């Protein structure tokens, strides 16, 4: 049974990046204390922590130190050792289970899980160690683990290009990509937002609510997301990405945490994904959430000056993460009400 953690108690967060930062900001606003573990003493979430532990994510003893001072523990990204988490959750209050983490860390396990729930995926070939596989078309080859923002993937069309510990995904025509941001508390599953995403150079560029998907496509994506949450031991926010291809809804991947596309909910939704996550992991009721039309733009290091100047001319909601700007590094995002297309008359 999930425990009730009330304001004044401590939430432990593994990871001190921008997601940890915004989780901590929401929790502090509600009156919780925050403990953060991160290997970087300059991580952008540290400023909002009451207790900071500088340690690598594979340092079992230091993670246990975080657990001992926390009433509930959450994480901001998937790259945590699932075996260590499995041991720690026997003694401490983790509500995002190690089984879910183990599945979502591995692209093959993740797709097999979706297929077992009768959720369609792209066709794929799972490559372990034997790369002696004949192929007669172009595939997108992805590493089985630790890939994000296009890292760990490339197009291949020859047998000699196949690498071990990968998954080869067939290319499909892409109408659009949407993500369903949902939360599960001890009472029910709530949909926080359905978001349409546009990527450039494999990095999320723009998101918008509502999507241009049909109502039936959205309903199916929501149904699949609820099916996933109902079949796992998990509390908190979880995001599922889907492709819309030739009108069909196709599973892409699960993020067992708050998610980049969910940043739009800081303005679009009556309750942001960050507050919903804190409430759910603390045993509180999230309740129904509604949205209004909103557009999000990610801010990369090379675009910092443009957006800083833009916000002096156009009303919006600027969120900077206090991260050192560099090429293609996400350093913030900005939300606008309405359907805003930058580069046109909206500037």
Which 3 state secondary structure label does DSSP give 217?
Answer: helix
Q: Is 243 annotated as a binding residue?
A: no
Q: Is 343 annotated as a binding residue?
A: no
Q: Is 257 annotated as a binding residue?
A: no
Nearest-5° angle of CA 40, CA 98, CA 16?
Answer: 20
Q: Is 170 annotated as a binding residue?
A: yes
Q: Is 52 annotated as a binding residue?
A: no
From 11, 15, 149, select the one nearest 78 (Cα to Cα).
Answer: 15
Q: How is residue 166 written in tokens?
A: 């990968």
302 vs 71: CA distance, rounded Å: 40
H helix and E strand count, the chain: 9, 16
Q: Is 169 annotated as a binding residue?
A: yes
Q: Is 106 annotated as a binding residue?
A: no
Q: Is 16 annotated as a binding residue?
A: no
Q: Is 151 annotated as a binding residue?
A: yes
Query: Regarding beta strands 189-200 and 203-209, do their DSSP bridges make them parallel or antiparallel, or are they unpaired?
Result: antiparallel
Q: Return the C-alpha torsion angle 7, 8, 9, 10, nearest 10.
A: 100
Q: Is 253 annotated as a binding residue?
A: yes
From 326, 274, 284, select the one nearest 22 (Cα to Cα).
Answer: 274
Q: Is 142 annotated as a binding residue?
A: yes
Q: Is 236 annotated as a binding residue?
A: no
Q: Is 171 annotated as a binding residue?
A: yes
Which 3 state secondary structure label does DSSP give 239?
Answer: strand
Q: Is 148 annotated as a binding residue?
A: yes
Q: Is 153 annotated as a binding residue?
A: yes
Q: Is 64 annotated as a binding residue?
A: no
Q: Is 322 annotated as a binding residue?
A: no
Q: Is 133 exposed, middle or buried (0-12, 13-18, 19+ CB in 10 A)?
A: exposed
285's CB contacts (< 8 A; 6+ apart) are 185, 187, 279
User: N- to C-terminal Cα distance for the chain?
Assistant: 51
User: Residues within the annotated binding site?
Assistant: 107, 142, 147-153, 169-172, 177, 199, 252-253
Binding site residue list for ATP: 107, 142, 147-153, 169-172, 177, 199, 252-253
């Amino acid at each position: 049974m999930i425990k009730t953690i009330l304001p004044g108690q401590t939430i432990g967060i593994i990871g001190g990046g921008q997601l940890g930062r915004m989780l901590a900001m929401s929790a502090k606003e509600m009156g919780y204390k925050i403990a953060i573990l991160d290997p970087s003493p300059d991580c952008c979430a540290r400023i909002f922590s009451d207790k900071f532990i500088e340690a690598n994510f594979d340092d079992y003893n230091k993670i246990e130190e975080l657990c001992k001072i926390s009433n509930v523990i959450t994480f901001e990204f998937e790259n945590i050792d699932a075996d260590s988490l499995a041991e720690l959750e026997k003694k401490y209050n983790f509500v995002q289970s190690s089984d879910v983490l183990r599945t979502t860390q591995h692209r093959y396990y993740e797709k097999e899980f979706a297929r077992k729930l009768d959720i369609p995926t792209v066709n794929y070939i799972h490559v372990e160690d034997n790369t002696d596989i004949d192929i007669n078309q172009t595939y997108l080859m992805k590493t089985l683990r630790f890939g994000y923002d296009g890292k760990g993937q490339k197009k291949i069309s020859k047998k000699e290009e196949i690498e071990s510990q990968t998954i080869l995904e067939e290319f499909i025509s892409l109408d659009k990509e949407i993500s369903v941001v949902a939360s599960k508390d001890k009472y029910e599953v709530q949909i926080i937002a359905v978001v349409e995403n546009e990527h450039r150079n494999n990095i999320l560029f723009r998101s918008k609510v509502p999507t241009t998907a049909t109502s039936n496509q959205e309903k199916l994506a929501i149904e699949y997301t609820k099916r996933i949450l109902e079949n796992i031991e998990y509390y908190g926010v979880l995001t599922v990405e889907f492709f819309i291809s030739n009108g069909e809804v196709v599973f892409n991947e699960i993020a067992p945490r708050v998610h980049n596309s969910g940043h739009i909910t800081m303005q679009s939704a009556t309750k942001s994904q960050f507050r919903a996550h804190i409430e759910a992991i603390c045993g509180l009721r999230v309740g129904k959430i509604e949205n209004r039309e909103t557009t999000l733009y990610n801010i990369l290091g090379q675009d910092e000056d443009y957006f800083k100047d833009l916000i002096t001319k156009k009303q919006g909601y600027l969120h900077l993460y206090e991260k050192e700007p560099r090429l293609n590094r996400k350093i913030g995002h900005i939300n606008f009400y309405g359907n805003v297309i930058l580069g046109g008359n909206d500037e």
